[in-house]
Amino acid sequence: MRATIRPFDDRDVDMVVGLSLRAWEPVFASIERAIGTRIYAVLTPDWRTSQRHAVEAVCAAAETSVWVAEAEGHRRRLRGRPAAQRAADG
């Protein structure tokens, strides 16, 4: 399988958000098991919405360079770490 790394395009946002949600789901499930459902519900009532907003903000931020890996030309098959923040000048 051939992969290409390219700059993020606004059309990629749903794919990148989906990748992030799939990646973080087991982490949040583990936290819920560790601290219990009642406490978890208070601390993280809707992690999926919060995560979606956070990823969308990173993708839209001017100070962040976002790259995607595209497998065989299919955006639906995004892989890898989708963002890297540039170091501040000065």
Domain ranges of the chain: 3-85
Where does the pLDDT of residue 13 fall: very low under 50, low under 70, confident under 90, or very high at 90 and above? very high
Question: What 3-state class would DSSP assign to 80?
Answer: coil
The pLDDT of residue 87 is above 70: no
CB crowding 2-39: b at 16 or more within 10 Å, else e: eeeeeebeeebbebbbebbeeeeeeeeeeebeeeeeee
What rounded mean pLDDT belongs to the chain?
83
Where does the pLDDT of residue 77 fall: very low under 50, low under 70, confident under 90, or very high at 90 and above? very low
The pLDDT score that the predictor gives to residue 69 is 84
Residues 68 and 81: beta-carbon distance below 8 Å = no
d(CA 75, CA 16): 10
Q: What pLDDT, in 10s, does the model give residues 49-65?
A: 999 999 999 999 988 88
The pLDDT score that the predictor gives to residue 64 is 86
